[in-house]
Amino acid sequence: MSSAGGMRLAAPPLDMGHLKKAKRLRQKELQLNRAIRDTILNLLMCWIIYSIACSNRDGRSYTDIKFKVTNNET
């Protein structure tokens, strides 16, 4: 704004239809961001559970069962 003076013009009134459309678009963007965040968090949790399950697995369990089945042990 120049210092030469003069009155500032008022902003034109906002179009309500445009505002409603922008609001819906913003709500959809927020919903998409939330869905992406939830998906990433769910995949991360699944990976953590899978990693823990695999690290706690007994590597000999399959061969022990196979040996017992082939030798008719219970």
Which tens digit of pLDDT belongs to each residue from 56-69?
776 666 666 666 66
Determine, yes or no, domain membership for 42. Answer: yes
pLDDT at 4: 61
pLDDT at 47: 96
Domain around 56: 25-70
Task: Name residue, tokens 């769910």.
Answer: 42
Determine, yes or no, domain membership for 59. Answer: yes
Task: Give Cβ neighbours of residue 54 (< 8 Å, ≥ 6 apart).
Answer: none
**Whole-angstrom distance, CA of residue 20 vs CA of residue 14:** 11
Q: Please, what's the b/e burial string for 20-38 (b: 16 or more CB within 10 A of its CB; e: otherwise)?
A: eeeeeeeeeeeeeeeeeee
pLDDT at 10: 85
Determine, yes or no, domain membership for 10. Answer: no
What's the number of domains the chain is made of?
1
Name the token pair of 21: 């459309």
Determine, yes or no, domain membership for 14. Answer: no
pLDDT at 13: 85
The overall pTM is greater than 0.95: no
Task: Name residue, tokens 């959809």.
Answer: 28
Query: Which segments in the chain show pLDDT lower than 70?
Result: 1-5, 58-69, 71-74
